[in-house]
Amino acid sequence: MASVSIYARTLDKVISVAQTISAIGANRAYQGYKRFKDQENFEQMISQLTPYTQGYFVADIGRASRKFLNVSNFSIRGALYMYCPKDLSNNLDASWDIADSLAAALNDPDNFIDADNSLGLPDTVNFSIYEIDAVNTPGILCFDYGKHGAGDISFTTGNP
pLDDT the model gives residue 160: 44
In this structure, of 17-31, 126-140, 143-157, the range with the lowest mean pLDDT score is: 126-140
More confident residue, 19 or 141: 19
- The CA distances from residue 142 to 29, 54, 82, 97, in Å, are 14, 12, 6, 14
Domains assigned to the chain: 6-157 (3.30.2000.30)
pTM of this structure: 0.86
Give pLDDT tens digits for 129-144.
887 765 556 678 889 9
pLDDT the model gives residue 88: 58
